[in-house]
Amino acid sequence: MQPAIEVQNLHKSFGELKAVDGASFNVPQGEIYSLLGPNGAGKTTTISMLSTLLRPDSGDALVMGHSIRKDPMGVKSVLGVVPQDIALYEDLSARENLTFWGKMYGLRGAALKQRVDEVLEIIGLTDRQKGRVSKFSGGMKRRVNIGVALLHKPKVIYMDEPTVGIDPQSRRSILDSVIALKNAGMTVLYTTHYMEEAQELSDQITIMDHGKLIASGTHDELVKIVGQMDRIRLTINAEGARVVTAWKSTPGVKQVTAEDGTLNLLVDDSNQVLPRLFDAATTSGVRITSVDIQLPNLEAVFLHLTGRALRD
Amino acid sequence: MNHILDIALNDLVQIVRDRKVFLFLLIMPICFTLLFGYAFGGFSSGGDSDPRLPVAVLDEDDGRFSQELFALLKGSEVIRIETDLEKSRFDYEKALSDGDLAGIVTIPAGYSQAMLDGQPIPLDLWADQASTTGTTVQNEVLMAAKRLASAVWTAQITSQAAGKTADFDALVSEALLAWQEPPIRIEATSGVVAEEEPSQSVMSMAHTAPGMILQFAIASLLTAAQVIVSERKSRCLQRLLTTATQRVHILMGHFLSIFAMLFTQFMLLIVFGQFILKVDYLRLPGATLLVAVASVLCIAAMGLLIGVLAKSEEQAVMFSLIPMFVLSGLGGAWVPLEFTGAAFQTIGHASPIAWAMDGFKNIIVRGLGLESIWLPVAALVGYAVVFFGLAAWRFRSE
């Protein structure tokens, strides 16, 4: 089956900054595909190019067979976009917003009214449909923001960090709706810097950093990059440099990075390595004030590949 | 086409829900029209019911011919006789110095007898001869006095020729009547200026009212520009660009809403001017409509351009204030360009407001016909095309 999205060597620069540097990936139809990376990694620029808002410097992408360069209107006709920022008319009600956007997607008359009713049901705002968006909570606005993209039943939907800045309950609701979209047969391209979201939702994940795609695969495939290594986060009461050298030479330690008073270590087996780390710290005259052990996950993969934590 | 209407309606719904907009679109223009009209001499004494110049006549002769002169002046289409038996000469002189009277005419004692003796004595006329009003009063009074003297002289000649059988009074009346239907009448007409001049207050409003309409239409540029700036700020514009709506349709939708908003403002203020301020917009309703449409097309396109250029609300305010002050001032919306020199009038016509003012004034002040508005309308439409073209070109990179 033809991929829903085929990205071919996309490049985009803003002056000296290479925002996207040779991105290539395929998104199979009916899957949730996540772009995972910190702020500034190039995720939104990629989405902007794929939704024809930005013209790439070079490269191309096909969305359901429509080229973003040669057939932008064809791309838009099969696409629903949930932007990172809430894009709604605050002085209009939820229903008025959905009705207006439905018209912009080509819906009219009874079909429009019926679809607006369905979407209000999907986003759980039937009871509040006449309320002005300006009076809504952040989570409710996010739900309307998503609802707009569903109006014309697009084959492909882009969701650019849709859970930023909302309460846990609304976040849970949005994640459930993303899974529901997949179950309804839609292809979802999802960007996030929350490892847990990518892990929970995605069939496939691509990790981005500084405009480059640095790893792609399923969650399990990506985790294998760091093997069975555990991740240990330590805080100490002194300069990290006094103990880093000692810990790097400790058996079982694969990588040590220091950031803002926190030391991140990738180790073979935390149970065996931890006593040695305490011994080395004592020898160096350093006191360990906290310890956090994490099993292999995408955070560890990102740390392994970039030397930095994902949340930074 | 549907998308254009949908976008325009969406804008208008949001504009209507903002009550502050009404203040700027309607209430303030009406207040300023009244204020500026007053400042430029509107609402002068006498009101609008009788536009003739008020003149006091003091009859110290109280003879037959002084009463004839009084009757002649009373029938004048230019001056209106103010008679108040309670008022003294001092009261009239004070009224003249206050500007409540245009002149005082004193008919001296012995006027009638001197007329009969063939040695008419001059009238005593007080009026500001440095002003148009004063000279108008002087001309009208002297003309009446000359008519009376001619009638008396004619009656005397006829009486002498006819002998004792002739009725001298009837001959005088007949001679005066002849002035009303002279055998030869010279009428001067002009294709430029209407002969019949309306009252001072109506004239000042005729200058002020269109100026204020244009001034506040220009002031509404801010509201117009904010339509696009707010949409960009709320990220809705970017979202619109991800739908299958063509860019030119988005632009035209916003243009249509701005046009509708400004045109409504124009129409309301024209109706206000016509029926409340007595500015005769409806003398040529089709021409007034054409000038209004062309003006709104131009200003709406300017608002669209500012909205596309401004990247923030602060920029929108700044970009709107510049044309608001420069184009309005330069174009004669505040002070009529007729009050300025030829060079300033030429420079002023770089502003589309000057062309709009020309269009309106040709209809309501100069009394010209439909043919007089084609040039102003063409200039305004030309400006509109340029502004819209620039906005469309800039919007391509949105």
In chain B, where are the structural domains located? 2-43+198-395, 53-180
* The two structure tokens encoding residue B241: 């660009």
Of A148-162, B54-68, B153-167, which gets the smallest average pLDDT?
B153-167
Contact of B185 with chain A, judged by CB distance below 8 Å, is answered with no
- Residues of chain A contacting residue B240, judged by C-beta atoms under 8 Å apart: 104
C-alpha to C-alpha distance for A64 and A87, rounded to whole angstroms: 25
- Give the integer Cα–Cα distance in Å for B319 and B242: 28
Size of interface A-B (CB pairs under 8 A): 58
Across chain B, mean pLDDT equals 82
Instruction: Determine the angle formed by the axes of helices B247-275 and B2-16, rounding to 10 degrees.
Output: 50
Tell me if B218 sits within 8 A of B387, measured CB to CB: no
Q: Once rounded to an integer, what is the mean pLDDT over residues B331-337?
A: 80
Closest CA to A157 of A119, A130, A194: A119
Strand positions, DSSP E, A103-238: 156-160, 187-192, 204-209, 212-217, 230-236
- CA dist., res. A4 & res. A98, Å (int): 26
> What number is the average pLDDT over the span B231-255?
91
CB B127 within 8 A of CB B104: yes
Q: How far apart are CA A211 and CA A2, in angstroms?
A: 26
Would you call B288 exposed, middle or buried from its count of C-beta atoms within 10 A (0-12, 13-18, 19+)? Answer: buried
| DSSP SS3 for A209 | strand
| B18 in contact with A, Cβ within 8 Å | yes
pLDDT at residue A164, rounded to an integer? 83
Does the structure show a pLDDT above 50 at B198? yes
Q: How far apart are CA A289 and CA A237, in angstroms?
A: 7
| CATH, range A5-223 | 3.40.50.300
Contact criterion met (CB below 8 Å) for A114 and A151: no
pLDDT at B181 (0 to 100)? 66
B133 reaches A (C-beta below 8 A)? no
The pLDDT value recorded for residue B47 is 44
Q: A228-295, what's its fold?
A: Alpha-Beta Plaits (3.30.70)
Distance of CA B386 to the CA centre of its chain: 30
So what's the architecture of B53-180 in CATH? Answer: 3-Layer(aba) Sandwich (3.40)
Predicted local confidence at residue B45, as pLDDT:
44
CATH 3.30.70.100 placement within chain A: 228-295
**Chain A CB within 8 Å of residue B397 CB:** no
How far apart are the CA of B219 and the nearest CA of chain A, in angstroms? Answer: 23
Please tell me which of the candidates A87, A90, A101 has its beta carbon nearest to residue B238.
A87
Tens-binned pLDDT, residue by residue, of chain A (312 aa): 789 999 999 999 998 899 999 999 999 999 999 999 888 889 999 999 999 989 999 999 999 999 999 999 999 989 999 988 899 999 999 999 999 999 999 899 999 999 999 999 988 889 999 999 999 988 889 899 999 999 988 999 999 988 887 888 888 888 988 999 899 899 999 999 888 888 899 999 999 999 999 889 998 888 888 777 888 888 888 776 778 888 888 898 888 888 777 888 888 888 888 999 999 888 888 888 899 987 778 887 888 888 777 654
pLDDT for residue B165 is more than 70 = no
- Cα nearest neighbour of A75 on chain B: B244
The per-residue pLDDT of chain A, averaged, comes to 89
Residues of B in Cβ contact (< 8 Å) with A86: 234-235
Residue A9: phi and psi, rounded to 5, are 55, 55
Mutate one of B9, B15, B21, B242 to test the A interface: name it (highest A CB count within 10 A): B242
Q: How confident is the model at residue B196 (pLDDT cuts 50, 70, 90)?
A: very low
Q: How many CB atoms lie within 10 A of CB B72?
A: 19
From-to residues of CATH 3.40.50.300 in chain A: 5-223
- Given a contact cutoff of 8 angstroms between Cβ atoms, the answer to whether B362 and B376 are in contact is yes
